[in-house]
Amino acid sequence: MGKPVFSNRWKIGILVLLGVLLLFYPKMVGRYWAFVLILAGCYFLGALGYNILVGLAGQVSFGQAAFFGIGAYASSLLMLRLNVPAWAAVLLAGFLAGFIAYPIGIPALKISGHYLALVTLAFSEGIVVIFREWVSMTEGPYGLRVPTGTFGPWVLKGEPLYYFVLVIIVMLAITAHNITRSRIGRAFKAIRDGEVAASSLGINLMNYKAIAFALSGFYTGVGGALLALATGCLMPWDFDFRLTVALLGMVVVGGLRSTILGSALGAVLLTYFPEWTGKLLEVKELMFGLLLLFCFLFLRGGIVGGLISLKNKMQNTKIGAKLFET
Amino acid sequence: MAMLEVQNLSISFGGLRAVSHFDLAVERGEIRGLIGPNGSGKTTLFNIITGFYPPSEGTVHFQGEDVTRLKPHQIAAKGITRTFQNVQIFSGMSVVENLQVGHHMSIKTNLLGAAFATGRITGQEKRSLRKAEELLRRIGLEELSARPAGSLPFGQQRKVEVLRAVAMEPKLLLLDEPTSGLSVSEKDEMAQFMKWLREEFSITILLVEHDVRLVARVADYITAMDFGQKIAEGRPEEVLSDRKVLEAYIGAEKSSGSN
C-alpha cells in the first residue's frame, strides 16, 4: 500500500513488457487498430478522472461527460482560433476543465448522494446545450472541424499521433499514481471511507472535495482534448449523458478501487468490445448491459478486484505461494 | 487556566436541552472520565468540543484560546482529536495507511509536489510510513500493517482507531466509549493502553465510558452527567459513591430494562 512504486520484480517485468508492447504496437497491428488504441487511451483518461472522483474520493457524479466535452472543445478552439500548438492546447484545455470542475466540489459539501448526482447531471446537460447553441463559437449542430495538430516536425496523424497520445497518457498516469499515494490521495480515501473521522484528523472536507473534482476534471478534460485531435470532428451530442454512462461502465468494469490499472483495463476492454462484436451491431448495447450486470453481480471490484481476490485465493495453495512470492 | 475550559455550554435539539449550562475544566496530563446514563449528553458534549455541533450558548477554550465555533478540521489543527462510539475506521485503507491519515497535517504536500513526487515529498512520505509502522510495532500490531482495516476483528479496529488519533500527536484526545463491544480481556488491554498513551506521549485524555469500574481504574477525576447537566465531579471513589450518581444510574437501568 504505502510501499515504494516498484516494490517487486513482477511489477517491473510486467511494466517493461507492456512498455515494449505499446511502443511497437502500431508496427504490429497497423493503422486501424493503433487508432482504436488511441481512442481507448483517450477514454482511459476520461475514466481515470471519473475513478479519482468516484472510486478514490467517493463522490457521486453524473456529469463526467461535460469535462470530456469541455476539454475537447476548448483545445480545438484554442488551436483553431488562437493557433495554440497542439500540446499546449491539450494541457490548457485540461486545466480549464479542472478549473470549471473545482467549484462543483463546493456544493458537494452540503449535498451528497442522489442530490449531488442530479446537480452534476444538470450541469453536464447544460454544457451540452452550450455546445449546441453557441453556434458562432462551436459550430453547434454543424460540427466543429478540428485542425490537425503538429508537434515539431511531426504532423499528428497516424503513428506520430499514437506516440504523442502515448507520451501524454504515460506522464499523466504517473502523476495520478503519485497523487494517489501522497497525503492527498489518502485524504480522498479517508473522505470516501468516513467524512466525520477524516475531518476530526484535520482534513478540510470542502477543500479536498473541490480538489478531487478539479483533478477529475483535469484528467478527463485532457482525455477529451486528445480525442478531439484523434477524431477531427466534434458534435455536441457526443458529450451527453451516454458518454458519462460509457465512462462509468469502464470504471466499474475495470475496478473502482484501482484508480489507474482499473481505469485502463476498463477503457481498453470497453473500447475494443464493440470492435469485436461489430458484426452483431444490434446486440452491442445489450452486450454492454450484460457485461455491466455481470460485474455488478459477480465482480464487484471489477477486473482488478477479481484478479486480487484470485491472487489471494491462489496464495493459499502451494503453487500460488511460489508464484506470488514477494 | 486549565487546558480545556468549557463554560456554561448549552445546546438544544428541538425542545430538548441535550447539554445545559455545562462547565468542565480538564488539566494538562489528566485522564478525565465522563460518565452518565445513556442520553445524558456525553457524546453531544464531545460533538460540540470537536466542532461538529455549534452550541447555542457558552464557550470552549483550549489552551487559553476560544475554539467555540471552529470547524472540526480547525479543531484538529489546534491539537484536539477524537474517536467515535461506533468505530469510524477507514475500512478501504490498510492499517498503516489509516495511521498515516493521522499525519495529514504534519506532511506538507501541495498538488504539484505530489504529482511529480519531488524529493522533499517522498522524504516526508517515507518518514510518515516509518513512524506509522513504528507506532504499530510498539503496540505489537506490526503484522497487521498491510491488512485492509475493514477486515480486522472489532477489537483491533478499535485499537487502530485510537492509534490513528495518536498518530496525529494530539494534545487532547477525546475517547468516546473506547471499550464498548470489547471482551473483558480486551477492556483490560484498552485500560493499560490509555495509561501508556499518557505516559509515552503525554496526551491529555477525556474519556466517555460506561464501564464504571474501568473508569475508576484509569481516570484521575470523574465528571458525572445526567440530563445534560453536571451532577457530580471529583475523585473516582467520591463520584461513584455519590447519591445523585447512583440514582441516575439505577434510575436509568430501570427504564432501560423496560424497553
Question: Taking an 8 Å Cβ-Cβ cutoff, which residues of chain A contact chain B?
Answer: 1-2, 175-176, 178-179, 181-187, 189-190, 192-194, 196-205, 211, 215, 257
Compute and round to an integer the Cα radius of gyration of chain A.
20
Kindly determine whether residue B168 and residue A202, on different chains, have CB atoms separated by under 8 Å. yes
Helices (H), chain A: 9-51, 64-82, 86-101, 107-110, 114-133, 135-138, 158-181, 183-193, 195-200, 205-231, 241-254, 259-276, 284-298, 302-315, 318-323
| Residue of B49, B73, B95 to mutate for A, most A C-beta atoms under 10 A | B73
Kindly determine whether residue A183 and residue B114, on different chains, have CB atoms separated by under 8 Å. yes
Are B223 and B233 within 8 A, CB to CB? yes
Kindly determine whether residue B115 and residue A198, on different chains, have CB atoms separated by under 8 Å. no
Query: Mind telling me how many Å the CA of A5 is from chain B's nearest CA?
Result: 11
Phi, psi of B36 (to 5 degrees): 155, 155
Helices (H), B64-153: 72-78, 95-101, 111-115, 119-138
Kindly determine whether residue A186 and residue B93, on different chains, have CB atoms separated by under 8 Å. yes
Residues A46, A78: Cα–Cα separation, whole Å: 20
Residues B32, A211: Cα–Cα separation, whole Å: 39
Query: Mind telling me how many Å the CA of B14 is from chain A's nearest CA?
Result: 21
Cell of B119: 524529493
Is the ipTM of this structure higher than 0.85? yes
> Which residue of chain B is at minimal alpha-carbon distance from A202?
B73
Q: Which residues are registered as beta bridge partners of B65?
A: B62
| Secondary structure (3-state) at B89 | coil
Kindly determine whether residue A2 and residue B96, on different chains, have CB atoms separated by under 8 Å. yes
pLDDT digit string (tens) for chain B, length 259 residues: 789 999 999 998 888 888 889 999 999 999 999 998 888 889 999 999 999 999 999 999 999 999 999 999 999 999 999 999 989 999 999 999 999 999 999 888 888 888 888 777 888 888 999 999 999 998 888 888 888 999 899 888 999 999 999 999 999 999 999 988 888 888 988 898 899 888 888 899 999 988 888 898 999 999 999 888 888 898 988 888 888 888 887 765 554 444 3
What pLDDT is stored for residue A281 in this prediction? 60
Kindly determine whether residue B88 and residue A196, on different chains, have CB atoms separated by under 8 Å. yes
| Residue of B104, B157, B171 to mutate for A, most A C-beta atoms under 10 A | B104
pLDDT digit string (tens) for chain A, length 326 residues: 334 444 577 778 888 888 888 888 888 888 888 888 999 999 999 999 999 999 999 988 898 999 999 999 999 999 988 988 989 999 999 999 999 999 887 777 677 778 888 888 988 899 989 988 898 888 888 888 888 887 878 877 888 889 999 999 999 999 999 999 899 999 999 999 999 999 999 999 999 999 999 999 999 999 999 999 999 889 898 898 889 988 998 888 888 888 888 888 888 888 887 777 665 666 667 777 888 888 878 887 788 888 877 777 766 666 555 555 44
Kindly determine whether residue A215 and residue B165, on different chains, have CB atoms separated by under 8 Å. no
Q: Which of B77, B107, B116 sits opposite A178 (nearest CB)?
A: B116
Query: Mind telling me how many Å the CA of B47 is from chain A's nearest CA?
Result: 10
Domain A25-279 -> CATH class? mainly alpha
Which strand (E) or helix (H) includes residue B56? Answer: none
Query: Mind telling me how many Å the CA of B76 is from chain A's nearest CA?
Result: 5
Q: Which residues of A touch B93 (CB under 8 A)?
A: 1, 186, 189-190, 193
Kindly determine whether residue B96 and residue A175, on different chains, have CB atoms separated by under 8 Å. no
What pLDDT is stored for residue B258 in this prediction? 40
Q: Which residues of A touch B157 (CB under 8 A)?
A: none
Question: Taking an 8 Å Cβ-Cβ cutoff, which residues of chain B contact chain A?
Answer: 50, 52, 71-73, 75-77, 81-82, 84, 88-94, 96-97, 100-105, 107, 109, 111, 113-117, 121, 125, 128-129, 132, 146, 161, 164-165, 168
What pLDDT is stored for residue B253 in this prediction? 55
Q: Which of A198, A200, A205 sits opposite B50 (nearest CB)?
A: A200
Q: Which residues of B touch A186 (CB under 8 A)?
A: 93, 97, 100-101, 104
- The sign of the torsion formed by the CA atoms of B185, B191, B192, B196 equals positive
DSSP state of A56: I
Phi, psi of A292 (to 5 degrees): -65, -45
Q: Which residues are registered as beta bridge partners of A44?
A: none
The DSSP result for A255-303, as a single string, is -TT-HHHHHHHHHHHHHHHHHHTGGGGGGHHHHHHHHHHHHHHH-TTHH
Q: How many CB atoms lie within 10 A of CB A80?
A: 15
Kindly determine whether residue A199 and residue B72, on different chains, have CB atoms separated by under 8 Å. yes
What pLDDT is stored for residue A316 in this prediction? 64
Residues B54, B67: Cα–Cα separation, whole Å: 11
| Residue of A1, A54, A91, A201 to mutate for B, most B C-beta atoms under 10 A | A201
Q: What is the pTM of this model?
A: 0.88
Residues B230, B218: Cα–Cα separation, whole Å: 20
